Structure 1
Amino acid sequence: MSGLPKVELHLHLEGAAPPAFIRRLAAEKHLDISGIFDARGNYRYRDFRDFLKVYEAATSALQTPEDYRRLTLAVLEESAASGVVYSETFLSPDFCGGRDLAAWREYLHAIREAAEEAERKQGIILRGIVTCIRHFGPEKARETALCAAETADHWLVGFGIAGDERMGAPKDFRWAFDCAREAGLRLTAHAGEWGGPDSVRDAVRDLAVERIGHGVRAIEDLALVDELAETGIVLEVCPGSNVALGLYPSFRAHPIAELDRRGVKVTVSTDDPPFFHTTMAREYEELHRAFDWDEGQFRRIARQSLDAAFCDADTRTRVAQKLEA
C-alpha cells in the first residue's frame, strides 16, 4: 500500500519539520532549544499542551523566509518519498512575519518558490491554507485573516484555525472566517479532536466550513455522524496523530473505519508527522493492518481526498492523472 499515490489535506508545515533539520537550524542561529529533544534526537513532549509548547519552541528556529524555503523543500522531499502527489499545508502569518503583511508576502514567496522547485524535481504539488491560531485569540485571528485575504490566489486556497481547541469558541472567530470567505478562500477548522461532538457542530454552524480537521469525536454522537454524511462535510482524519497523543489506544480502536462505513467522507493525513513518528506510507500500512483496507479502498480514499481539495480545476485534473497513473 505504501507505493500508492496519495493526497494529503492536513499537514502543518512547521509541524512537519524533521527534528534534525530544526537542530541544524538552531545551531546555525546559536539558539538553545535542546530541551525539546529526547536522547535519540526526536521531539519530546508529555501531553497535548506540552506538544503545543514544543511545537512553538521548534518553530522559533524558523526566523527568515530562507528558513521557510529550506523547510518547505525538506518537508516535500519527505512527503514525495511517501508517495504523496498532492498536499495542502497549513501556514500561519503568526510564525511567518508576525502577521505583518509585507513580511508575510516575503515568507509566502519563499515557500512558493520552494514548492515550485519540488514540483519540478519530484512531481509533488503543494497548495497553502492560511491558519489562525486559536489560543492566540480572535483579534490576532483577524490580522491573520487580513493577510490571507490580501494574498489569496490559485496557490493560497484556504483558511482555517488550529491550536488549542479547548480555548474560546468557534463563533469568536466568525469575523476572520467571513473575511477569508469574502476573499474567495475555502474554509476548514480543527474540531472534534480535544473538543467533543459539539465542537464539530459549532464549527460547522458558526464558521460555515466545508471540512473539519480531525473531527473524529463526532463518532460519540451518531446523529451528528448522520448529519456529516448527509451534508458531505469532509473530515481530515489523522489516525497516527490521534493514537500518538492518546486520543485512542491503537489504530484498531480508531473510529475512521466506522465513520467511513456510516457514509462520512474521510481522508487520511499525518498532521505533524515527525512529532508522531509517522508518514503517509505508515498511515496506509497501519490502516491496512487494523482494518484490512485493500488497494481499492485506499484509491477511493485518495480520490475522495482530491474531490475535497481546495485547488482549482486545472490542478485537480493534473492530480487526478497522477492518481490514475
Structure 2
Amino acid sequence: MKSLPKAELHLHLEGAAPPAFIAGLARQKKIDIARVFDERGDYAFDDFPHFLEVYEAATSVLKTPEDYARLVTAVAGELAEQGVVYAETFLSPDFCGGGDVSAWRDYVAAMQEAALAAEAQGGPILRGVVTCIRHFGPDRARRAALCAAETMGDFITGYGIAGNEMMGRPKDFAWSFDLAREAGLGLTAHAGEWGGPVSVREAVEDLRVTRIGHGVRAIEDLALVDRLAEDGIVLEVCPGSNIALGLYPRWDRHPICQLWERGVKVTVSTDDPPFFHTTLSDEYDRLAQAFGWDEEVLAGLNRVAAEAAFCDAPTRERVLARLGGTG
C-alpha cells in the first residue's frame, strides 16, 4: 500500500523517531539510554506504563531546537517513504522548553523551518498539534495551552491531551481546552484506549473535542457509538498500537471495522510507529487482510482524515488534491 497517498492525524513526533536516530543522538551527547533498546537496537518495553517510561527516556536526548529540527527531517523522510502526503504530529512544550513560552517559540520556529524544507523537497505537509501530558497534571496543561495559543499559526494548528488515561478526569483539563478553543485551535483528546468508553464520553462532553485519539473502546457502549456517528466525531484509530500494547489480541478482533460499519468517522494512524514495529503502509495491508478493505475503502478513510485535519481551507484543498480527489 506504499503507493496509496495517505493522511495521518495521530503521530507523536518523538514516538516516530527512528531508534537509530535516538541512539546516535545519545552517543553524540554522551547520554546513556542503552536500557531503552533491545539487542537488535529496537525500543524495548513490557507494558503501557513501561512504554511511557521508555518513551520519556528516549525523548530525554532531544534537548535543543536543533535536535527537534533534525527529528522533523528524519520523520518527514520516513513518512514520505510510506506515501504520506499530510501528517499532524503531536508536540509537547513539556519536552520542548519545559513549558516556557519564549523557549517554546524557538522550538516551534526550528521545527516549522524543517517541516517546510521537507515539504519543498517533495515530502508531506506537516502540522503540529500541541499536547499536554495528562499524568503531568492540569497546571502544566495550562502552560501547554498557553504555549499553543501563543504560537498558533501556519504550523501549530491544534491542541490535545496525551499520556496516561488513568490519571485524572477530562474535566480537570477543561480550562486549558477552553483557552485553546478561544485561540481557534482544533481540539482532540486521547481517550477510549485504557480508560474505556466513559473516557470517550467525558472527553466529548467536558472538553468539547471534534476528534478522539484512539476511541476504540467506545464499541463497548453502542449508544455512545451511535452518538459519535451522529455528531460526526472523528476517531484517530491506531490499530497496530492497540494490538502491540495488548488491547486487542489480533487484527481481526480489532473494532475499527465495527465502528466504521456503524457510521463512525474513522481514520488510520500509527501512533508511535517504531515502538510498535509498524508503518502506515503496514497498517493498511493488515486492515485489508483482516477485513477485506480495498483501496477504495482506504482512500475514503484518507478523505475523512483530510476533512478532519486541523488546517486551513487552502491546505485542505492541497491535501485532497494530493490524495487524488475531493470526495
TM-score bracket, normalised by the shorter chain, equals over 0.9
* Other-structure match for 2:87: 87
**8 Å CA contact retained: 1:2, 1:284:** no
Post-superposition CA distance 1:266-323 (Å, at most 9, x none): 0000000000000001001110111110011011111011011010000011111111
Establish whether residue 21 from structure 1 lines up as the match of residue 21 from structure 2. Answer: yes
Secondary structure of 2:174 counterpart = helix
Any gaps of 5 or more consecutive residues in structure 2? Answer: none
Secondary structure of 1:74 counterpart = helix
Establish whether residue 145 from structure 1 lines up as the match of residue 145 from structure 2. Answer: yes
Secondary structure of 2:135 counterpart = helix
Pairwise CA distance, 1:122? 2.2
**8 Å CA contact retained: 1:25, 1:61:** yes
**Which letter maps to 1:43?**
Y
**Which letter maps to 2:18?**
P
**Which letter maps to 1:219?**
I
**Which letter maps to 2:33?**
I
Q: How does 1:1-325 map to 2 (within 5 A)?
A: 1-324=1-324
Pairwise CA distance, 1:250? 1.1
**8 Å CA contact retained: 2:76, 2:123:** no
**8 Å CA contact retained: 1:93, 1:100:** yes
Secondary structure of 1:240 counterpart = helix
Normalised by the size of structure 1, how large is the TM-score? 0.99
Pairwise CA distance, 1:154? 2.7
**Which letter maps to 1:193?**
E
**8 Å CA contact retained: 2:148, 2:159:** yes
Pairwise CA distance, 1:3? 1.2
Any gaps of 5 or more consecutive residues in structure 1? Answer: none
Secondary structure of 2:157 counterpart = strand
**Which letter maps to 1:111?**
M
Secondary structure of 1:10 counterpart = strand
Pairwise CA distance, 1:155? 1.9
Figure out how many residues of one structure are paired with residues of the other and give that number.
Answer: 325
CA distance in 1 between counterparts of 2:256 and 2:42 reads 27
Pairwise CA distance, 1:2? 2.7
CA RMSD of aligned residues (A): 0.7
Pairwise CA distance, 1:123? 3.4
**Which letter maps to 2:237?**
V
CA distance in 2 between counterparts of 1:199 and 1:5 reads 32
Post-superposition CA distance 1:115-147 (Å, at most 9, x none): 001101123100010000000000000011111
State the identity as a percent.
67
